[in-house]
Amino acid sequence: MADREPVIGIDLGTTNSVVATVQSNQPVVIRNRTGSNLTPSVLAVSKTGKRLVGQIAKRQAITNPQDTIYASKRLIGRKFSSQQVQEAMKVLSYSVVCGDHDDIKIRMGGKDVSLPELAAMVLAELKLDAEAHFGQPVTKAVITVPAYFNDGQRQATKDAGRIAGLEVLRIVNEPTAAALAYGFGKTVNGKIAVFDLGGGTFDISVLEIGNGVFDVIATGGDTYLGGEDFDNRILEHLVYGFAKEHGVDLRKDRMALQRLKDAAEKAKIELSSSKEVQVNLPFICTPPGGGTALHLQKPLTREKLEELCADLIEKCIAMCDQVLGEAKVKPGDLKEMVLVGGMTRMPKVVEAVKKYFKRDPCKGVHPDEVVALGAAVQAHSLTSEESQVLLLDVTPQSLGVAIAGGYVRRLIPKNTTVPTSTTEVFNTSKDGQTTVKIMVLQGEVEIAHQNELLGEFILTGLREAKRGEVEIEVTFDINSEGIVSVSARDKETGQRQSITVTASGGLTEDELQKIMEEQGDYLLEAKVSEELKTKRGELDAVLKEVSGLLPQVQKLTEGSEFGVDAVSKAVKSIEAARRSLEVGSLSTVTESVDTLNRTLNLFRGVLQRIGNR
Amino acid sequence: MAVGGALSSEVINGLGARSDFIAAVPQVDVRRLALSPEETLLFSLVGRAAQISEVIGKSHLAEPRAIAALLALRAKGAIVPARIQKGVASTSNAALGEEVELDEKRKIEILDFEAKLSTSNHFQLLGVPNLASPDEARRAFHELARRFHPDRFFGKNLGSYRSRIENIFRKLTEANETLGDIARRTAYLGAHPELVDIPAMPSVDAVAPRTRTSDDDLRDAERRSRLTRHPYLARSAKVSHLIKRAKESLANGEPSLAFNDLNLAARLDEKNAEVKTLLIEVRKKHDANRSDVEFKKGKELMEAGDNRGALSSFKSAASIDGATPAAHYYTARLAMVTGGDLKEASSHAQKAAEAEPKNAQYREVYARILEQAGMKALARKQFEELLKLDPENAEAKKQLKRRWPF
């Protein structure tokens, strides 16, 4: 095709994912092959060992709770031993196991799968949707992540893209993407805030827009605060009530847990439009001592939900206050307030936001789709010359090194525009010290070990001298791709050591390579089967036509010298075609289509000639 | 006259061709020239030296006005035509020939800007007048970002230009962020006193009477004024002025103003003993004052029902050295009720409880925060302590009894 290769933007969400592109200068959502805009970020391995992605996986969740994986984004890039993961495991219906480097693996269909692999399955599905839409391969994408994701989580997402066979042009922050979509094609000049409360994460960003430049002033959030937490509050409320009444902990039964989770989400969504719902889960479990099954029937009012979740909403507003403070803007200075994420449909959230920002939120954007649209805008602006959009994004968290006494010295403060770099001179801290260890940290806490350790390296061969005499120059660099690299130099000898920070606690390069090879087979398979489907359709059609003509031809050629072996040959190839339609591989099906086409031509010729006689 | 290929060859009378260079007269005393705002702007755009067409273009003035202002500057002796071998030419010839996905014009634009990096201050770099406001600086930064952000060249083979562009953008970011942040801006201006309009030294005024306009007098004046602009003298003049003002503010009961001035002074002259002693004295007053003010504000807000606002006030009050236990206590309590950071809350609560170990109220908040933060064992210990202080405390009793139903 003469067109440039298509590029896509993907919102890889906690509960739903969306893929979009820019077509004739307008960002549009690409529908998936089931015809809907949202693809649930749910994966499953069915009882027959088939891998399911999206709506089909979600639909069978209740009957297959153990092998249905949802909300895995909440775990990506985290350590197994972290508090959030340990907490999450209590209410997850699938098993989370510990990998080799305190990373997380998920048991799915009897295999331990890493989180980037899981994310890659969703990405691969979206890639196929996009390819179906364009009718040609798609390899370039921009993927969004919550603004407050740390370097490890970003790297893990990038890895997922690579596994899915995508070249990730850029990882973009979700609220920033939302702002891009909001401001695209409009002349907006001024400061806006984006409040993004999604399925698993919360972000708040303040941007200044002017002449197509989208400049992020400050951003903040919580990567563990979202719709899932609201669901869990309802779930716990139901479990608690049930325990009081019947003395049974429903969380111990995986199927009950999955049904409860489902019901909690539905109740939450319904309560956005109605004042009260009935949670109705008949035959939820059998009592431990035997006897008749127990039912869970409980009304839930909007007030109760708001009470259960009041602190979550307050946490969001407190975060807004903090970020606005960092951006040095008052709510009144803002031109617009954009709400993003499904959770912003909850009336109480809207009310709290309105009260704090003292204005009605912008209604012009679709909370579920705007992030993907923004990602598409960014993908387009990076790859096309004529684009007038420029994004100036920031580092969400501070970067620094550990210094003597267990503290952090920050080299790049948070909310610094990237790309950026900075250099600072350090001294040795002990007499006669000949090596120094540079530990690269990300986070806002003064105490070193409470921050995220991105990586570490050692600079050796320093001159033996009194403490403080040897000077070491440390340089931090964040390039426009958002990748952090750090180097240290002995000022005296000029000796240098450096690292490019890669995902810690996630996959090693070797593991990634291995997965890509395995996944490569799968991808090839997926594409072939698409092709196979169309070929089968072709074969089916031609088969019908040939079998329809066969009796006529048999009758006409009966007794004539033309006949016997040609007709019997045709009958044989029809039989072969029937078989290959049932079980054939792509090559045999293609072969059958060709043979039958030849037979069909022959039949037509015969009919015409004899008919003309 | 040499004329650049792509540029207009039009000659401006009294200045030269548009492609020619003009330079600022070294050591000229701008203050005495009584420049108009337009002239000041153009003068700052000239920097050390620049191409005429470039200066006119960047001024965003209508061309005749820009030319008139330049001619006025020339007449006042602030600028002169300069024969400059383009500074970048020698090093950049090789770069210009480099085979990359950039056209000639872009290459020149990048090389020219790169050459400016080492000689320009933050204002010149962004192309704004000295002491331009943070907003102006930011707008100029946006315009320049559109030209030099690495994303503008995404996916292109740039060779040596990649690092050039990244370097330019880094410097632009630094300039924008420095000028946009009050603390960093103050520090930067402190380190570059020549950018700040300093109060004139008395000696300059003493020279001013020009009874005789002999060459000697003029030369004397010029020499003196040059001395006052010497970084060292300019600095000491500024420091003594700041000390004086700080003392006045202190006498007027405004330690915050004094504190700001002294901080600036300390940055200008690190070794000044007077500044140091004053600073220690003022810092204490300033801190106590600030802590007190914030604490009062916090209480007011709390009574008005604005817990979040109150929390941030209490937090600031508690973050200052020598804050009272009460400040820590209120910070902790409000952080707890508004769902703030429990780790931080617990450290405040701990400070309060340790400062006044017999205060049951403080102890209770500390215990409850620990409980909420999931540190059950510690919480339990604190509740037990609390029960010793206040045997009737309902919360402690409840907490020590509470059991999860399964």
Among A299-308, A380-389, B108-117, the least confident range = A380-389
**Closest by Cα among B61, B58, B60, B55 to B81:** B55
Set of chain B residues whose Cβ sits within 8 Å of the Cβ of A480: 149-151, 166
Closest-CA residue in chain A for B340? A315
Band of the pLDDT at B27, cuts 50, 70, 90? low
Question: B7 versus A433: which is more confidently predicted?
Answer: A433
Residue B285: C-alpha distances to residues A231, A444, B239, B241, B322 (Å): 51, 29, 21, 21, 11
Answer whether B152 touches A (CB < 8 Å): yes
CA distance B222 to A497: 52
Set of chain A residues whose Cβ sits within 8 Å of the Cβ of B154: 169, 382-383
Tell whether the model's pLDDT for residue B200 goes beyond 80.
Answer: no
Band of the pLDDT at B403, cuts 50, 70, 90? very low
Tell whether the model's pLDDT for residue A377 goes beyond 90.
Answer: yes
Residue B99 lies in a domain: yes
Q: Is the same domain home to B108 and B61?
A: no
Question: B10 versus B330: which is more confidently predicted?
Answer: B330
Residue B19 lies in a domain: yes
Q: Which residues contact B401 (CB under 8 A, 6 or more apart)?
A: none
**pLDDT score for B4:** 39
**pLDDT score for B84:** 56
**Closest by Cα among A392, A464, A371, A424 to A218:** A392
Question: Taking a C-beta distance cutoff of 8 angstroms, is the pair B381, B397 a contact?
Answer: no
CA distance B362 to B346: 11
Domain extent for B66: 11-82
Question: B206 versus B55: which is more confidently predicted?
Answer: B55
What 3-state class would DSSP assign to A205? strand
The helix (run of H) or strand (run of E) holding residue A234 is helix A227-246
Percent of chain A past pLDDT 70, that is, above it, reads 92
Q: What is the DSSP letter of B295?
A: H
Answer whether B305 touches A (CB < 8 Å): no
What sign has the CA pseudo-torsion B148, B150, B154, B155? positive
CA distance A197 to A223: 10
Structure tokens that stand for A589 in this block: 């099906």
Band of the pLDDT at A206, cuts 50, 70, 90? very high
Tell whether ipTM is more than 0.95.
no
Q: Is the same domain home to B97 and B39?
A: no
Answer whether B154 touches A (CB < 8 Å): yes
Question: A158 versus B253: which is more confidently predicted?
Answer: A158
**pLDDT score for B389:** 80
Of B150, B176, B312, the CB nearest to A419: B150
Peptide linkage before B199 cis (omega within 30 of 0): no
Q: Which residues contact A267 (CB under 8 A, 6 or more apart)?
A: A234, A277, A279, A300, A305
Band of the pLDDT at A463, cuts 50, 70, 90? confident
Q: Is the same domain home to B288 and B368?
A: no
Q: How many domains does chain B have?
A: 4
**pLDDT score for A519:** 60
Q: What is the DSSP letter of A377?
A: H
**Closest by Cα among A506, A592, A502, A555 to A120:** A506
CA distance B76 to chain A (A): 38
Set of chain A residues whose Cβ sits within 8 Å of the Cβ of B185: none
CA distance A403 to A18: 43
Among B193, B217, B251, which residue terminates a domain?
B193
Does the beta-carbon distance from B339 to A244 stay under 8 Å? no
Domain CATH number, residue B295: 1.25.40
Tell whether the model's pLDDT for residue A522 goes beyond 60.
Answer: no
Q: Which residues contact A519 (CB under 8 A, 6 or more apart)?
A: A117, A120, A124, A163, A164, A165
CA distance A459 to A436: 5
Set of chain B residues whose Cβ sits within 8 Å of the Cβ of A392: 142, 145, 149
Reading phi first (left if > 0) and then psi (alpha if -120 to 50, else beta), residue B106 is in alpha
Set of chain B residues whose Cβ sits within 8 Å of the Cβ of A318: 308, 338-340
Question: Taking a C-beta distance cutoff of 8 angstroms, is the pair B250, B282 a contact?
Answer: yes
Structure tokens that stand for A87 in this block: 């907490």
Of B143, B173, B340, the CB nearest to A417: B173
Mean pLDDT of the region A322-340: 93
State the burial class of residue A322 (Cβ atoms within 10 Å of its Cβ: 0-12, 13-18, 19+).
middle
Tell whether the model's pLDDT for residue A323 goes beyond 80.
Answer: yes
Residue B401 lies in a domain: yes
CA distance A426 to chain B (A): 21
What 3-state class would DSSP assign to A488? strand
Tell whether the model's pLDDT for residue A140 goes beyond 90.
Answer: yes
Of B146, B154, B170, the CB nearest to A421: B170
Answer whether A382 touches B (CB < 8 Å): yes
Q: Is the same domain home to B74 and B100?
A: no
Q: How high does pLDDT run on average in chain A?
A: 87
Residue carrying structure tokens 């804050």: B323
Answer whether A610 touches B (CB < 8 Å): no
Tell whether the model's pLDDT for residue B3 goes beyond 60.
Answer: no
Domain spanning A7-226+311-392: CATH superfamily: ATPase, nucleotide binding domain (3.30.420.40)
Domain CATH number, residue B119: 1.10.287.110
Residue carrying structure tokens 């420049």: B35
CA distance B190 to chain A (A): 20
Does the beta-carbon distance from B154 to A383 stay under 8 Å? yes
Band of the pLDDT at B201, cuts 50, 70, 90? very low
Mean pLDDT of the region A570-576: 85
Mean pLDDT of the region A71-76: 91
Q: Which of A217, A330, A392, A421 to mutate to test the interface with B (most CBs of B within 10 A)?
A: A392
Reading phi first (left if > 0) and then psi (alpha if -120 to 50, else beta), residue B41 is in alpha
Structure tokens that stand for A337 in this block: 């307030």
Mean pLDDT of the region B238-259: 80
Residue B210 lies in a domain: no
Q: Which residues contact A298 (CB under 8 A, 6 or more apart)?
A: A238, A241, A278, A279
Please report the DSSP string for A247-303 in residue order.
---GGGSHHHHHHHHHHHHHHHHHTTTSSEEEEEEEEEE--TT-SSPEEEEEEEEHH
Give residue B213's identity as a one-letter amino acid code. T
CA distance B28 to chain A (A): 35
CA distance A9 to B175: 33
**pLDDT score for A327:** 92
Set of chain A residues whose Cβ sits within 8 Å of the Cβ of B166: 419, 479-480
Residue carrying structure tokens 């939450």: A268
Positions of E strands within A305-435: 336-340, 390-392, 399-403, 407-412, 420-427
CA distance A542 to chain B (A): 47
Question: B144 versus B286: which is more confidently predicted?
Answer: B144
Q: How many CB pairs under 8 A join A and B?
A: 68
Residue B198 lies in a domain: no
**pLDDT score for A559:** 67
Question: A58 versus B324: which is more confidently predicted?
Answer: A58
Of B138, B143, B170, the CB nearest to A420: B170
Of A318, A391, A419, the CB nearest to B308: A318
Topology of the domain comprising A227-310 = Actin; Chain A, domain 4 (3.90.640)
Q: Is the same domain home to B106 and B55?
A: no
Q: B-contacting residues of A 388-407, CB under 8 Å?
A: 390-392
Among B54, B82, B110, which residue terminates a domain?
B82
The pairing of strands B49-51 and B79-82 is unpaired
Among A123-137, A340-354, B8-22, B75-89, the least confident range = B75-89
Residue carrying structure tokens 């300019």: B234
Please report the DSSP string for B31-99 in residue order.
HHH---HHHHHHHHHHSSEEEHHHHHHHHTS-HHHHHHHHHHHHHTTSEEEE----TTHHHHHHHHH--
**Which residues of A carry out catalysis?**
11, 73, 174, 196
Give residue B353's identity as a one-letter amino acid code. A
Question: Taking a C-beta distance cutoff of 8 angstroms, is the pair B24, B14 a contact?
Answer: no
**What's the number of CA atoms in the CB half-sphere (13 Å) around residue A402?**
20
The CA-based diameter of chain B, rounded to the nearest angstrom, is: 102
Band of the pLDDT at B228, cuts 50, 70, 90? low
Set of chain A residues whose Cβ sits within 8 Å of the Cβ of B406: 243, 247, 249
Q: A-contacting residues of B 310-339, CB under 8 Å?
A: 312, 338-339
Question: B226 versus A52: which is more confidently predicted?
Answer: A52
Q: Is the same domain home to B384 and B319?
A: no
What 3-state class would DSSP assign to A66? helix
Mean pLDDT of the region A10-18: 96
Give residue B26's identity as a one-letter amino acid code. P
Closest-CA residue in chain A for B334? A318
Q: What is the pLDDT of residues A576-597, one digit of tens each?
A: 888 887 767 777 888 888 888 8
Residue carrying structure tokens 């810092």: B283
Closest-CA residue in chain B for A311? B339
What's the alpha-carbon Rg for chain A, to the nearest Å? 30
Structure tokens that stand for A419 in this block: 């790309």
Answer whether B169 touches A (CB < 8 Å): yes
**Maximum average pLDDT range among A232-246, A453-467, A587-601:** A232-246
What 3-state class would DSSP assign to A192? strand
Set of chain B residues whose Cβ sits within 8 Å of the Cβ of A189: none
- Chain-centroid distance, C-alpha B23: 28
Among A95-109, A553-567, A591-605, B197-211, the least confident range = B197-211
Tell me the angle at which helices B273-303 and B255-268 cross, rounded to the nearest 10 degrees. Answer: 140
Mean pLDDT of the region A190-200: 94
Question: B265 versus A370: which is more confidently predicted?
Answer: A370
Residue A360: C-alpha distances to residues A179, A226, A319, A339, A370 (Å): 17, 22, 19, 10, 18
Residue B278 lies in a domain: yes
**Maximum average pLDDT range among A238-242, A470-474, A568-572, B373-377:** A238-242
Set of chain B residues whose Cβ sits within 8 Å of the Cβ of A247: 405-406
Structure tokens that stand for B367 in this block: 């215990």
Q: What is the pLDDT of residues B69-86, one digit of tens each?
A: 888 888 777 787 776 554
Question: A4 versus A315: which is more confidently predicted?
Answer: A315
Answer whether A222 touches B (CB < 8 Å): no
Tell whether the model's pLDDT for residue A321 goes beyond 50.
Answer: yes
**Closest by Cα among A155, A128, A165, A138 to A39:** A128
CA angle centred on B99, ends B94 and B102, rounded to 5°: 105
The pairing of strands A68-69 and A43-45 is antiparallel
CA distance A111 to chain B (A): 33
**pLDDT score for B236:** 77
Q: Is the same domain home to B58 and B95?
A: no
**Closest by Cα among B125, B51, B42, B41 to B87:** B51
Q: How high does pLDDT run on average in chain B?
A: 78
Domain parsing of chain A, residue ranges: 7-226+311-392, 227-310, 399-500, 509-612
First to last CA, chain B: 94
Band of the pLDDT at A527, cuts 50, 70, 90? low
Question: Taking a C-beta distance cutoff of 8 angstroms, is the pair A74, A100 a contact?
Answer: no
Residue B211 lies in a domain: no
Band of the pLDDT at A10, cuts 50, 70, 90? very high
What 3-state class would DSSP assign to B320? coil
Domain spanning A399-500: CATH superfamily: Substrate Binding Domain Of DNAk; Chain A, domain 1 (2.60.34.10)
Structure tokens that stand for A325 in this block: 């403070």
Question: Taking a C-beta distance cutoff of 8 angstroms, is the pair A68, A60 a contact?
Answer: yes
Does the beta-carbon distance from A215 to B339 stay under 8 Å? no
Closest-CA residue in chain B for A244? B405
Answer whether B151 touches A (CB < 8 Å): yes
Does the beta-carbon distance from A213 to B150 stay under 8 Å? no
Tell whether the model's pLDDT for residue A11 goes beyond 70.
Answer: yes
